[in-house]
Each structure stands twice: as C-alpha cells, then as structure tokens.
Amino acid sequence: MSTTGYYWANEIDGHFVGGLLVLNENARPVEFHCTTPVRPSQSQRILYGATLGEHVLCELIPKLLVNKTKQKPSAILVDQNLLLNCRQNLNIAVGCIANESLSGCHKGEGDSSGNHLNNSTNSELVIGNSAFISVGRLEFSVHSQFRSDELSVQTALESISKTVDIDEPFERLVTAIQEASKSNSKAA
C-alpha cells in the first residue's frame, strides 16, 4: 500500500510542536503521531542560537515521528520551505506544497534575481535550498540536494489530489495536534 505523509511543525509560545499524518491513496488516515511540546532549556537556546528552530523542526521532531510509524510513507509533504531541510535526516522523499517564495513569480516571468520559469508544461526554478517544480497544474518544491525526490512527490500529490485538495490534510493535522495538546494539558 502506498502512503503519503503530511508533516507539520512550528514554534508556539516558546516551545515546539509537530505531527505526522500518514494517509492512504484515498486520503484516509493510516497513522497519526505528534509530539508533546518540546521546551528547550535556556542553555540550549544560548548554545544553538539562531539555529535552534531549524534543529528542532527539521532534525529532532521529524526523525522521532517517522521512527514511530509502522507504515513508512513513500513521500512526506510539508507546508513550509524551511521544513524541506528535514530531508537531510530522512530516507524519504520530502516535498513542499506551499511555494511562498514563488508568490509573484509566474510561468514565463522572472523573479527579482532574473530566475525564470518557462512556459512549458514542466518547469523549475532553484532558489536557496529549494528546487521549485511545476508539472501541469501541480506546483511544489523539493530540497535542491535531493532533486531525485521529484517523481515520488509528484506521484504522492497526484494520488492525494484525486480525493481532496492537497492542502486539506494539513488542516486535519493541525487540528489533531491541537486536540492532542488539549488532552495532554488536561492529563498533566
């Protein structure tokens, strides 16, 4: 059975939370895992400095969540380009479906640096750690060091988009994390 993971993580009120929703081809949940709030100590904040957020969001949380899964997803989708960096610590294709860096950069138009997306059916643009890809109506990005992830991410997106809007599982995931957080705070 082919599955797709949706990974979401963020810093909220000084602590970090994250979750992984694994879906089958029909966009039905197979597994859900989330973290309890990760609260770095003041020493960790000092020692990691500006790199703390990326370390927790892209290394610690995704590795923990993927290791908990029984059914490893064939691809993991994220909604922030920063989270593409989790690919460096996972042996699973990772793609970002929120190409916020491309706002205002349309097919055939250049961005401020002179990069261009062409008018062909398939096009791509590389900015920083992200390779932005447009295949037909699908637009997504993969980590520029893992360009081979493109086909796995495209296949996952095509499968999920037959059933639901590709952003919709993020809404379910965030709501489930919020509910789990409420349950954890009541139990404490």
Domain that holds residue 107: 4-187
Averaged pLDDT, 49-74: 96
**Three-state DSSP state, 143:** strand
State the total domains in the chain.
1
Model confidence band, residue 138 (pLDDT cutoffs 50, 70, 90): confident
Model confidence band, residue 13 (pLDDT cutoffs 50, 70, 90): confident
Contact 133, 150 (CB under 8 A): yes
Greater confidence, 27 or 118? Answer: 27
User: Residue 124 forms beta bridges with which residues?
Assistant: 133
Q: Is the pLDDT of residue 187 over 90?
A: no
pTM of the entire predicted model: 0.83
**Contacts for 25-30: CB closer than 8 Å, 24+ residues apart:** 25/1, 25/159, 25/160, 25/162, 25/163, 26/163, 27/160, 27/163, 27/164, 27/168, 27/169, 29/172, 30/1, 30/3, 30/71
pLDDT of residue 41: 94
pLDDT of residue 110: 34
- Candidates 35, 49, 38; CA nearest to 16 is 38
The model's pLDDT over 70-120, given as tens digits with 9 standing for 90+, comes to 999 999 999 999 999 999 999 999 999 964 444 433 333 333 333 333 333
Query: Encoding tokens for residue 126?
Result: 């590389």
**E-strand stretches of 13-148:** 15-23, 29-34, 75-78, 93-96, 122-127, 130-135, 138-143
Query: Encoding tokens for residue 8?
Result: 């979401």
